[in-house]
Structures are given as C-alpha cells and as structure tokens.
A and B are shown apart, each in its own frame.
Chain A
C-alpha cells in the first residue's frame, strides 16, 4: 500500500492485531456519533478482548481456573471495558494514545476478576491473621531475618490499630490480593491502600525513632 494513501479503518485497527499510531479524534468521533459507530464499537471490543487475553495470560493465578472460566472472564471483562470506555468517551483528553487509555479498563476488569476467582474458594478469616505461620525456618534463616523483623513485629503491635494490623498482615504477609480483601471486607482498593499506607507511615516513624531505619530526608519513595 502506498504510504501516502490513507489506510482503511479496518487496517488501522485490526480486531486481533496490534493497534496503529494514535488517531484519538478518529476513535472519539467514530465511537461517539460517526456513521460507522457500530463497526467502531466492534473494533473497540476487539481491542478490549486482546487486552483482556493479554492480562489473563500473564497472571499465574489464572492458570488453575480452567479454559472455560478464563474465556468467561475475558469476554465479561471485554464487555465491561467496552461499556466503560463508551461511557467515559468525553473524558478522554488525548494525553495518551486512545488505545492505551482504553486498554487500561480491560486490564483492570480482567485482573480484578482473576484475583477474585482464584481466591473464591479460599477463606480469608481476618480474625486468624494476627498469627500467620512462620515463613522462616532453621537457625540460619532466623538469623537472617534479624533484628529488623523482630522490631517490625513489635512495632506492629505497638503503633498500629487492629484494623491496620489485620489489613497489613492480610496483604503483605498472607498475600491476599487487595481486590479480594476489599470484597471480603465490603471495602474497596482505595480505602485498603490508604489503610496500608498509613500503617507503613506509622511503622516507619516508630522504627526510625527506635533506630532501626535511617531518617528519610525527602518525600521520595524507596523500593
């Protein structure tokens, strides 16, 4: 095809292939009130299917769900993401490629549902999370864990509220996904992350005051 020739809509946005360079105005116009709106919605749904399949393929916890359940999640996520994009179309500001903006809805929908499905058969009893099983064994491992671990344990008891302690243990010691914990607690990801963030601040302040952590001189995060 002559490179100066305008590509067809289908060739620009193949359903199962890769998205082309950004043409946000095209997408917004076509999905909003364009004459080929139905076709554009179909193409958008194809992109959402691609993003959902990509997300589910990279999640180890999806492997045990079985093919049928994975397909169910992919299609449900693509449907939800398509609706989410259409309902937020006027909020798209063109600060990113339209496709990148749209993909994020499918990625989120898929990731949340995979986490919830993978944990659906597992009980998360928050009242039992105060005393998780030891993750260290043997004298060498115990020595390696060292003073900081013991100090963190002490700080958790002294400076965290019961709710902060339960959330922190569930998320970071037991490995409960944040979406799963939110569902079990009737909460949401935002609220639980804020609880975890506040718990970290309290722990860091206490450990710093006790000499286990260096004083942070900036607001820069350290991994």
Chain B
C-alpha cells in the first residue's frame, strides 16, 4: 500500500502521536475540572494522571480548563501568571496525584 503524501508537518505529527494515556472521556473531564482547577488555584502542582493526560490530548477541554482557572484565580485575587505557570508545571509533571 502506498502512503498518501499528506505532508502533515512536525506539529501535527507530534499531536497525532502524543501519549494521552490513561484514557479519560470529555464528559468525565468536565465532571472533575472544577475540582482540579480549585486544587491548582489552592497551590497543588500536580494533577491526577488521567485528567492530565486528557488535557494534553484534548485541545477543547484544555482551553476551557484554562479559562476556568483564570476565573477561579480572579475570585481569589491571585496573580494570573503565577497560577497559569503552576498549571503548566502540573501538565508537564509526571508526578500525578490521586483524584
């Protein structure tokens, strides 16, 4: 079978092959996003592995989680950049915590 020449680009190739295990559905992500966001706002620098994996794999859920994070940070008069940086570290970190 001859491969089609999609020329998908390096970014798309990376997104196509990202490791998004363990699996979590978008509905289950939505169910817990408020809890995880409040945990990060409160100082936690880690996320449950399945939640973290889902945000890595799902752009829409990640965008909405970031928005929720900003709103929650505003409510507590926290510095936006500090909270976003903590969230980024939690996404990169492999030190997951239980949900």
**Footprint of B on A, CB under 8 Å?**
18-21, 50-51, 54-55, 58-59, 95-97, 99-101, 103-104, 107-108, 111, 115, 130-132, 134-136, 144-146, 148-150, 152-154, 156-158, 168-169, 172-173, 177-179, 189-190, 193-194, 196-197, 199-201, 203-204, 207, 213, 216, 218-223
Q: Is B83 an interface residue (CB 8 A)?
A: no
Contact (Cβ within 8 A) A200 B64: no
Contact (Cβ within 8 A) B20 A197: yes
A179 to chain B, nearest CB (A): 6
Contact (Cβ within 8 A) A153 B37: no
How far is A220 from B17 in the complex, measured between Cα atoms in Å? 14
Chain A residues, Cβ within 8 Å of B72: 97, 99-100, 103
> Of residues 24 to 47 in B, which have CB atoms within 8 Å of A's CB atoms?
25-27, 30, 33-35, 37-38
Which residue from A59, A99, A132, A177 sits with its C-beta under 8 Å from B75? A99
Can you list 16 A-B pairs with a CB-CB distance of less than 8 A? A18-B75, A59-B63, A96-B38, A100-B34, A103-B72, A107-B67, A149-B9, A172-B12, A172-B16, A189-B26, A193-B57, A200-B20, A201-B21, A203-B16, A204-B17, A222-B19
Contact (Cβ within 8 A) B18 A132: no
Chain A residues, Cβ within 8 Å of B67: 54-55, 58, 107, 111
Contact (Cβ within 8 A) A145 B92: no
Contact (Cβ within 8 A) B3 A157: yes
Q: Is B71 an interface residue (CB 8 A)?
A: yes
Contact (Cβ within 8 A) B8 A132: yes
Contact (Cβ within 8 A) A96 B25: no
Minimal Cβ-Cβ distance residue in A for B2: A157
Contact (Cβ within 8 A) B7 A197: no
Contact (Cβ within 8 A) A54 B71: yes
Which residue from B11, B19, B30, B63 sits with its C-beta under 8 Å from A220? B19
Q: Is B82 an interface residue (CB 8 A)?
A: no
Known A97-B38, A131-B4, A200-B57; 15 more pairs at CB < 8 Å: A19-B75, A104-B68, A108-B64, A132-B6, A132-B8, A145-B7, A145-B10, A153-B8, A157-B1, A190-B27, A193-B25, A207-B17, A221-B56, A221-B57, A222-B56
Minimal Cβ-Cβ distance residue in A for B51: A221
How far is A19 from B73 in the complex, measured between Cα atoms in Å? 10
Which residue from B20, B34, B53, B96 sits with its C-beta under 8 Å from A96? B34
Minimal Cβ-Cβ distance residue in A for B71: A103
Chain A residues, Cβ within 8 Å of B30: 104, 108
Task: Say whether, besides A51-B71, A96-B37, A104-B34, A203 and B17 are in contact (CB < 8 Å).
Answer: yes
How far is A123 from B29 in the complex, measured between Cα atoms in Å? 29
